[in-house]
Amino acid sequence: MKTITYLIIIASISLLIGCGASVPPTELINARAAYQHASAGKAAQLVPAELHKAKVALAIAEKSFQDDPQSFQTRDLAYVADRKAKMAEALAATALGNATTAKANQDYQATQTEIVKNTKEDLAISERVSALKTERIAAEQKVVLETEARRVKQQDEADTEARLVKESTDAEARRIKDLADAETRRLNTIITFEKGGVVILRGVNFESNKATITKYSENILWDAYNAMIANPNVNVVISGHTDDVGSEKANQVLSLKRAQAVKNWLVKNGIKSNRMRTVGKGESEPVASNNTEDGRLENRRMEFYAEK
C-alpha cells in the first residue's frame, strides 16, 4: 500500500513537471487526495477491484491534465476519479460493517448458550435473550439503513455527475451550431444595392433588449459597408424588425433604436449620414412564424432598401 501511495506521489510530481508547473485544478487535487485516503484504508483489502477502478480513472484524469492543463475535460475526469475513490472507500466501510455484524451474531449465539447453561432462572434468561436480540436487530437495521443511505447518496451523485456532463456537452454543441449557422447566413448574404431593391441582413445581433451591436454582428455590417462604398450614388432606408416577444409598443421603439445603431456604426466607419435614414417596423412585418425559435430568429433582422 505504501508503494502505491509513493507511485501516486511520484506520478503527480512528474505530471507537474511535464505540464510546465501548471497548477492542477481543485477537482484533480481532490481526486488524488481521495485515492490516497482510500488506498491507506481497508479498500485495498476488502474491495480491491473498486480501488483499481479509481486508480484507472485517476490515471486518465492525470493524462488529460498532462495533455491540456486548461481543458475542462480534465476537471470532469478528475471529478469521476474522485467519486470512484470515495465509492471504493464507502464499499469497504460497508464490507467491514457486514463483517462486524457477523461477529456480533456469533457473539450473540455464544452468549445465549452460556446463559442457558449457567442460569436456572427462566425469567432472567428470557429477559437477557430478548435484550440481546433487540440489540442485534437494531444493529442489523442500522447497518441496513446506513448502507441504503450510502447507496442512495452515491446514486444521486452519479446522476448529478451524468447530468452535469450532459449539460456541458449539450451547451457546447449548441454554441458551435449557433456560430456555424450564423456564419452560414453571413456567407450566403450577397450584398448588392440596386435602386428599388432590398437587402435583408440576418444575424445582426444585439444584446438582449438593447440596441448595442455585438462584436460578431460587425462582420455582417462590414459587408453592408463595402456595398455602400461600392455604390456611392445609392441612398438607403435602414429598417429594423423584431419578433413578437414583448409588447408591440416596446418592439416598435426597440426596432428603431437598433436601426439607428446600425446607421451610427456605418457613419462612424465613414459612410455619410445623409445617405441613410432609419425606420422601425417592430413586429409588424414578420417573414416567418413567431411560434418557433428559428422563426423568431428570421424575424429579428435589418433590411436595407435602396431608394430610387
284 DSSP 8-state letter: S
- pLDDT of the residue at 265: 95
Residue 12 makes CB contacts below 8 A (sequence gap 6+) with 32, 62
Residue 31 has φ and ψ, to the nearest 5°, of -65, -40
- pLDDT of the residue at 19: 46
Angle at CA 68, nearest 5°, toward 62 and 73? 70
pLDDT class of 183 with cuts at 50, 70, 90: low
Return the beta strands (E) in the chain as ranges. Answer: 198-202, 236-241, 276-282, 301-306
Write the single-letter amino acid at 154. Q
Give the rounded percent of residues in the chain with a pLDDT score beyond 70. Answer: 79
**Domains detected in the chain:** 2-179 (no CATH), 189-306 (3.30.1330.60)
Residue 240 has φ and ψ, to the nearest 5°, of -95, 140
The count of C-alpha atoms lying within 13 angstroms of the C-alpha of 177, restricted to the half-sphere facing its C-beta, is 7
| Residues 299, 281: Cα–Cα separation, whole Å | 11
Which residues are bridge partners to 303 per DSSP?
200, 239
pLDDT class of 119 with cuts at 50, 70, 90: low
What tens digit of pLDDT does each residue of 213-232 get?
Answer: 888 788 888 888 988 898 88
Residue 13 in this model has a pLDDT that exceeds 80: no
Decide if 191 contacts 219 (C-beta within 8 A): no
236-241 vs 276-282, strand pairing mode: parallel
pLDDT class of 179 with cuts at 50, 70, 90: low
Helix (H) or strand (E) holding 113: helix 72-118
Residue 251 makes CB contacts below 8 A (sequence gap 6+) with 242, 243, 244, 245, 282, 283
Which segment of 78-82, 110-114, 238-242 scores lowest on mean pLDDT? 110-114
42 DSSP 8-state letter: T
- pLDDT of the residue at 180: 58
Residue 100 in this model has a pLDDT that exceeds 90: no
- pLDDT of the residue at 178: 63
Residue 118 in this model has a pLDDT that exceeds 80: no
- pLDDT of the residue at 189: 46
| Residues 88, 79: Cα–Cα separation, whole Å | 14
pTM of the complete model: 0.39
Handedness of CA 153, 159, 160, 165 (dihedral sign): positive
| Residues 39, 4: Cα–Cα separation, whole Å | 8
What tens digit of pLDDT does each residue of 229-246 get?
Answer: 988 888 999 999 988 999
- pLDDT of the residue at 236: 92
| Residues 29, 34: Cα–Cα separation, whole Å | 9
